[in-house]
């Protein structure tokens, strides 16, 4: 009988053959590079692959061709910030989903489930509607920053409320956290419905586009905001990976294995809320990345979080870069909200998971 070793390709009878960890990460890096390359070249203003090196300033005759200035403008002002934002947001959302599924020991858990995304969306919708009011006129000078700031503040406030409700005497109840999240999400959705009711036509279009998600507002300053958050999140994910692995056995078993379960819960909750809140503040609500990516990877590489978390970040980046490329090309020169595409992929997958749990299908 062959024993399965972590990161190896060996297997034991009855276990699925899993690729080595290094090969998995290399393949995901290659897929991300390929998705980024395609995203650089296609769009309403297409850039042929032969012109791409010169436009990026790598090699080629930079003085040749009248379209060089246009290519450089499109790449450096629009396309590269957008691709970077899509990759980082996809990584944050996918890692959030993997952490939450490990924390709840449930593959159907998703960051949107606890209402963090809805809280951010409610604050953003309120900012859109009240910008035109008398009070909103006082904030005209910061109209470009108002929406992401409001979304982040809404997500943060939701996290604080949830944590306050779920924590008593230094202990955090995951069940109460989940139930309170569902209730707050319902309240936030009711608030969004009220704002939609009172909004005028222009505000209604803005709210709808925000709720469906878009990366059209990606800029270099927003990338500068996302990058340190992603770096800190990656380090934090690695630090909690072992604890999440042991937590699968149960809280009592994890405690007796030397894991500070309460500390692990607090770190995980704050980490998921921060990553989701920052993502929502930049692109609005983009659903299903957090639930599809970890589950898909778990089928291929297994449940160990030391590999699952970084792999989820990479695959989440690949999927969101690919989805954003489709969103801005399939109806060009117009742009489809990216949330429609992720929902079109994620919802059938989610339904398939439910059917699989019921034993009606095998995936």
Contact status, residue 14 vs residue 297, Cβ threshold 8 Å:
no
- For the stretch 139-186, pLDDT in tens is 665 655 677 777 778 877 887 787 788 777 666 677 787 788 888 888
Q: Give the residue with greater pLDDT, 274 vs 358.
A: 274
pLDDT band of 124, cuts 50, 70, 90: confident
Span 330-342, average pLDDT = 82
Q: How far apart are CA 116 and CA 156, in angstroms?
A: 8
- For the stretch 27-39, pLDDT in tens is 999 999 999 999 9
- Report domain extents, the chain: 80-349
- For the stretch 270-303, pLDDT in tens is 788 778 878 887 888 887 888 888 888 888 888 8
Q: Say whether pLDDT at 60 is over 70.
A: no
Is the overall model pTM greater than 0.85, yes or no? no
- For the stretch 200-239, pLDDT in tens is 888 887 788 778 888 887 888 888 888 998 999 999 998 9
Runs of H (alpha helix) within 213-304:
220-247, 251-256, 261-283, 289-301
Q: Say whether pLDDT at 138 is over 80.
A: no
Say what the pLDDT of residue 360 is. 61
Return phi, psi of residue 172, to 5°: -115, 120
At the topology level, CATH places domain 80-349 in: ABC transporter involved in vitamin B12 uptake, BtuC (1.10.3470)
């Amino acid at each position: 009988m062959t024993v399965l070793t972590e990161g190896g390709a060996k297997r034991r009878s009855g276990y699925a053959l899993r690729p080595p960890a290094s090969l998995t990460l290399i393949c995901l890096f290659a897929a991300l590079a390929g998705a980024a390359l395609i995203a650089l070249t296609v769009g309403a203003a297409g850039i042929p692959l032969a012109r791409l090196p010169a436009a990026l300033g790598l090699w080629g005759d930079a003085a040749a061709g009248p379209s060089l200035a246009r290519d450089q403008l499109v790449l450096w002002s629009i396309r590269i910030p957008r691709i970077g934002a899509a990759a980082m947001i996809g990584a944050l959302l996918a890692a959030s989903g993997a952490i939450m599924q490990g924390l709840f020991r449930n593959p159907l858990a998703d960051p949107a489930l606890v209402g963090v995304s809805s809280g951010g969306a409610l604050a953003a919708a309120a900012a859109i509607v009240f910008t035109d009011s008398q009070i909103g006129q006082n904030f005209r000078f910061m109209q470009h920053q108002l929406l992401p700031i409001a979304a982040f503040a809404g997500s943060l406030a939701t996290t604080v409320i949830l944590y306050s409700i779920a924590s008593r005497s230094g202990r955090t109840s995951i069940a109460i956290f989940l139930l309170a999240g569902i209730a707050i999400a319902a309240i936030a959705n009711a608030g969004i419905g009220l704002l939609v009711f009172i909004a005028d036509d222009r505000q209604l279009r803005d709210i709808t586009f925000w709720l469906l998600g878009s990366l059209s507002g990606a800029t270099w300053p927003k990338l500068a905001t996302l990058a340190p958050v992603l770096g800190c999140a990656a380090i934090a994910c690695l630090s909690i990976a072992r604890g999440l692995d042991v937590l699968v056995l149960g809280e009592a078993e994890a405690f007796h294995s030397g894991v500070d379960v309460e500390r692990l819960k607090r770190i995980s909750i704050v980490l998921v809320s921060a990553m989701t809140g920052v993502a929502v503040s930049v692109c609005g609500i983009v659903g299903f990345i957090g639930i599809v990516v970890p589950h898909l990877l778990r089928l291929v590489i297994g449940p160990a979080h030391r590999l699952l978390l970084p792999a989820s970040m990479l695959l989440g980046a690949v999927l969101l870069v690919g989805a954003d490329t489709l969103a801005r090309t399939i109806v060009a020169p117009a742009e489809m909200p990216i949330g429609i595409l992720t929902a079109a992929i994620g919802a059938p997958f989610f339904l398939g998971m439910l059917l699989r749990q019921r034993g009606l299908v095998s995936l």
